[in-house]
């Protein structure tokens, strides 16, 4: 007999042993028991039949026919019982077989249970070990957290020191710039001192010359008639009598080297007072901008797709447009009509922005293909491709002195480019996507999708100020004096900001105005007196920037959102472009 294993119930063990003994002993006598049970059943059936149907010894002899019928009937019943008995026997056999199978499964399950209990004990031990390890890791983590907190505090203190040093460095740089500027002014003063002396001498000489009678010029430049000595004496006395003290010098008019040299210096000084790279055409300067009143000319299909950008040249004679058809088109304004001059190709995707340099000889355009391109307008050839951004370039502008360009992109960077080398010289990381930029000497101003306008010093790539708005910034513009900034945002509001004080001067609103896209452009008039922008419903709005009042709202042929507006520097024309490829030329009459 097997002994019960450790940890098992003794009752179950005894039952299992009895079941095994019963199976071993019953196996040898199962057929005999089955046959014996059948015999007993048959005997009971026969005895029952006799008791019911056979007459007793004292009774009369039965009818033979009845006996035959009874035998036939009982034979049929006996056959049915045999069949039922066989079916029951088969069922008993099947159940016995199932029982054996279940006993085997139970034994396997018992063995599996023992294995699982052993594994459970192992896992309990592993759990205890892991809990101990977890406690150690928590202690180590707490130590590391304390070290991290101390390092973070040290980092903050060092960062504050760094900011202070940067501020001090900026102040030192500014003081050095001021010192150098003062030194330059002193040097210019010393260099111009001889010129001032010459000018003083020239003024004295002019004063002397102004005393000479104009009639002497006729004697100098015209042939002298031959007179008699008496007539000559009489004429000479008549003419020069009031100027007797200067008579001898006036008559001879000797050459004055210092006087002639002063005139030469004056003319040379005036001849040299020109600005290299600046178009001196009088059309560049606008005294008073004229508010547009009607559409003078409408161009239904300016491009093969949506028109995204428009810009007048500095002389107000050439108009450039850029669209999603990857082209920049140049238009000539003749008799109040737009005529195609040239198409600049080379972009691999739609054009997002256009900018002329002050001379009007170069054009810079940003593109959806992550680049900006520079064309020469003398031969309309592509000069440089400025590549380096990882997302679309939303703005490309010339810096104030035109040797560098600045680009802003959706990759959250601003890059400054040396146009002579077509190389990036500096990059500014931004906290948000850039929608537009403007430049003013060493200042770069950027508008962002996080509803802020940021001011950057391009020399140190440091942020100098930040202006919060109430919506995504779609465009920026700066007036000609570089003192006021115009912003447009998705909250349907335009703001005029004074850059000298970084304060909002005017907020421009209008009932019905709705900013149509994330790249809708608003602009100043050339004299800075007005601001213009297009609405989502195709209406052109113009405000007075001094009073903040709506000057006019113009309904033209636009049937879709106006993307961009450009005001000619002469103040005579305004051009608006929209999503449906339409360009309108507006005038005041």
Per-residue pLDDT of 198-255, as tens digits, reads: 777 787 777 777 665 544 343 333 333 434 444 444 444 333 333 333 333 333 334 4
**How much is the pLDDT for 260?**
45
> pLDDT digits over 316-359, tens only?
889 999 999 999 999 999 888 899 889 999 999 999 999 999 88
Instruction: Please state the rounded mean pLDDT for residues 541-547.
Output: 94
**How much is the pLDDT for 229?**
43
Instruction: Kindly tell me if the per-residue pLDDT of 365 is higher than 90.
Output: yes
Q: Are 389 and 409 in contact (CB under 8 A)?
A: yes
Instruction: Please state the rounded mean pLDDT for residues 25-43.
Output: 78
Instruction: Kindly tell me if the per-residue pLDDT of 30 is higher than 90.
Output: no
Instruction: Kindly tell me if the per-residue pLDDT of 283 is higher than 70.
Output: no
Nearest Cα residue to 421 out of 376, 385, 390: 385
**How much is the pLDDT for 217?**
40
**How much is the pLDDT for 205?**
75
Distance CA 192, CA 181 (A): 16
**How much is the pLDDT for 548?**
93
Exposed e or buried b for every residue in 310-340, given b needs 16+ CB within 10 A? bbbbbbbbbbbbbbbbbbbbbbebeeeebee
Distance CA 116, CA 103 (A): 20
Residues whose CB is less than 8 angstroms from the CB of residue 401 and which lie 6 or more positions away in sequence, other chains included? 441
> pLDDT digits over 423-455, tens only?
999 999 999 999 999 998 789 999 999 999 999
> DSSP label at 279?
-
* Rg (alpha carbons) of the chain, rounded to whole number: 55
- Work out the mean pLDDT of the chain and round it to a whole number: 82
Instruction: Please state the rounded mean pLDDT for residues 540-557.
Output: 92
Nearest Cα residue to 520 out of 411, 435, 455: 435
Residue with the larger pLDDT of the pair 328 and 91: 328
Distance CA 464, CA 77 (A): 115
Distance CA 329, CA 359 (A): 19
332 φ/ψ angles, rounded to the nearest 5 degrees: -105, 135
Both structure tokens of 418: 């040396």
Instruction: Kindly tell me if the per-residue pLDDT of 81 is higher than 70.
Output: yes
Q: Are 297 and 330 in contact (CB under 8 A)?
A: no
- Strand 574-578 relative to strand 562-567, pairing: antiparallel
Instruction: Kindly tell me if the per-residue pLDDT of 310 is higher than 60.
Output: yes
Q: Using alpha carbons only, what angle is made at residue 253 by residues 248 and 259, rounded to the nearest 5 degrees?
A: 125
pLDDT-derived band at 85, boundaries 50, 70, 90 = confident
> pLDDT digits over 171-209, tens only?
888 888 888 888 887 777 777 777 777 777 787 777 777
Residues whose CB is less than 8 angstroms from the CB of residue 449 and which lie 6 or more positions away in sequence, other chains included? 432, 433, 435, 472, 473, 518
Packed helices 64-210 and 10-53: angle between N→C axes, nearest 10 degrees: 140
Q: How far is CA 289 from the centre of its chain?
A: 34
Instruction: Kindly tell me if the per-residue pLDDT of 54 is higher than 80.
Output: no
Instruction: Please state the rounded mean pLDDT for residues 266-280.
Output: 38
Both structure tokens of 164: 């202070």
Nearest Cα residue to 460 out of 179, 168, 178, 183: 168
**How much is the pLDDT for 212?**
52
**How much is the pLDDT for 53?**
61
Candidate from 260-269, 300-309, 356-365, 374-383 with smallest mean pLDDT: 260-269
> pLDDT digits over 470-513, tens only?
999 999 999 988 899 999 999 999 999 999 888 899 999 999 99
> DSSP label at 542?
E
Residue with the larger pLDDT of the pair 59 and 90: 90
Residue with the larger pLDDT of the pair 459 and 446: 446
Distance CA 575, CA 589 (A): 15
Encode 347-408 in three state secondary structure.
CCCCEEEEEECCCCCEEEEEECCCEEEEEECCCCEEEEEEECCCCCEEEEEECCCCCEEEEE
Q: What element of type H or E holds 429? A: strand 423-429
pLDDT-derived band at 163, boundaries 50, 70, 90 = confident
Residue with the larger pLDDT of the pair 306 and 269: 306
**How much is the pLDDT for 202?**
81
Q: Tell me the three state secondary structure of residue 181.
A: helix
> pLDDT digits over 390-436, tens only?
999 999 999 866 689 999 999 999 999 999 888 999 999 999 999 99
**How much is the pLDDT for 70?**
76
Distance CA 110, CA 120 (A): 15
**How much is the pLDDT for 62?**
58
Instruction: Kindly tell me if the per-residue pLDDT of 379 is higher than 50.
Output: yes
Packed helices 257-271 and 64-210: angle between N→C axes, nearest 10 degrees: 170
Q: What element of type H or E holds 136? A: helix 64-210
Instruction: Kindly tell me if the per-residue pLDDT of 563 is higher than 90.
Output: yes
Q: Are 374 and 384 in contact (CB under 8 A)?
A: yes
Both structure tokens of 474: 């779609």
Q: What is the DSSP string of 504-537?
A: EEEEE--TT----STT--EEE-TTSSEEEEE-TT
Residues whose CB is less than 8 angstroms from the CB of residue 348 and which lie 6 or more positions away in sequence, other chains included? 326, 367, 369, 371
Q: Are 496 and 475 in contact (CB under 8 A)?
A: no
| Number of neighbours of residue 169 by Cβ within 10 angstroms | 12
**How much is the pLDDT for 52?**
67
């Amino acid at each position: 007999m097997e002994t019960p294993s450790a940890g098992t119930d003794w009752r179950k063990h005894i039952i299992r042993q009895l079941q095994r003994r019963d199976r071993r002993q019953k196996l040898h006598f199962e057929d005999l028991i089955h046959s014996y049970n059948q015999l007993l059943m048959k005997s009971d059936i026969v005895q029952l039949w006799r008791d019911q149907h056979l007459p007793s010894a004292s009774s009369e002899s039965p009818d033979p026919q009845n006996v035959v019928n009874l035998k036939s009937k009982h034979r049929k019943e006996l056959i049915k019982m045999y069949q039922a008995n066989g079916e029951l026997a088969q069922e008993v056999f099947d159940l016995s077989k199932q029982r054996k199978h279940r006993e085997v499964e139970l034994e396997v399950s018992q063995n599996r249970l023992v294995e699982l209990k052993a594994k459970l004990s192992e896992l309990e031990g592993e759990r205890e070990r892991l809990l101990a390890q977890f406690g150690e890791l928590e202690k180590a983590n707490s130590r590391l957290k304390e070290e991290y907190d101390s390092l973070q505090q040290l980092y903050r203190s060092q960062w504050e020191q760094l900011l202070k040093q940067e501020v001090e460095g900026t102040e030192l740089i500014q003081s050095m710039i001021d010192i150098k500027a003062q030194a330059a002014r002193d040097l210019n003063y010393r260099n111009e001192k001889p010129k001032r002396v010459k000018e003083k001498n020239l003024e004295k000489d002019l004063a002397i010359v102004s005393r000479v009678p104009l009639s002497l010029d006729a004697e100098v430049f015209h042939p002298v008639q031959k007179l008699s000595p008496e007539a000559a004496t009489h004429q000479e006395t008549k003419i020069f009598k009031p100027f007797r003290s200067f008579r001898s010098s006036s008559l001879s008019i000797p050459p004055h080297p210092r006087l002639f040299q002063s005139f030469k210096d004056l003319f040379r000084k005036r001849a040299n007072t020109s600005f290299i790279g600046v178009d001196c055409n009088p059309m560049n300067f606008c005294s008073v901008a004229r508010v547009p009143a009607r559409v003078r000319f409408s161009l239904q299909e300016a491009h093969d797709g949506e028109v995204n950008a428009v810009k007048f040249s500095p002389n107000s004679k050439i108009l450039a447009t850029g669209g999603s058809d990857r082209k920049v088109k140049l238009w000539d304004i003749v008799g109040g009509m737009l005529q195609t001059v040239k198409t600049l190709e080379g972009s691999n995707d739609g054009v997002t922005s256009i900018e002329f340099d002050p001379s009007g000889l170069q054009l810079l355009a940003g593109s959806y293909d992550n680049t900006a391109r520079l064309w020469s307008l003398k031969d309309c050839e592509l000069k440089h491709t400025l590549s380096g951004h990882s997302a679309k370039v939303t703005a490309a502008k010339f810096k104030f002195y035109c040797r560098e360009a600045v680009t802003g992109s959706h990759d959250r960077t601003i890059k400054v480019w040396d146009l002579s080398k077509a190389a990036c010289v500096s990059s500014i990381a931004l906290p948000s996507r850039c929608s537009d930029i403007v430049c003013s000497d060493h200042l770069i101003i950027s508008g962002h999708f996080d509803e802020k306008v940021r001011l950057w010093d391009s020399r140190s790539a440091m942020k100098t100020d930040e202006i919060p708005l109430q919506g995504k910034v779609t465009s920026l513009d700066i007036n000609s004096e570089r003192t006021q900034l115009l912003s447009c945002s998705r909250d349907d509001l335009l703001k005029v900001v004074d850059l000298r004080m970084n304060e909002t001067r005017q907020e421009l609103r209008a009932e019905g105005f709705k900013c149509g896209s994330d790249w809708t452009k608003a602009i100043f008039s050339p004299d800075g007196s007005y601001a213009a922008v297009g609405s989502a419903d195709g209406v052109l709005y113009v405000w007075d920037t001094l009073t903040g009042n709506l000057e006019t709202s113009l309904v033209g042929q636009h049937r879709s959102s106006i993307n961009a507006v450009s005001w000619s520097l002469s103040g005579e024309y305004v051009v608006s472009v929209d999503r449906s490829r339409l360009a309108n030329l507006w005038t005041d009459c």
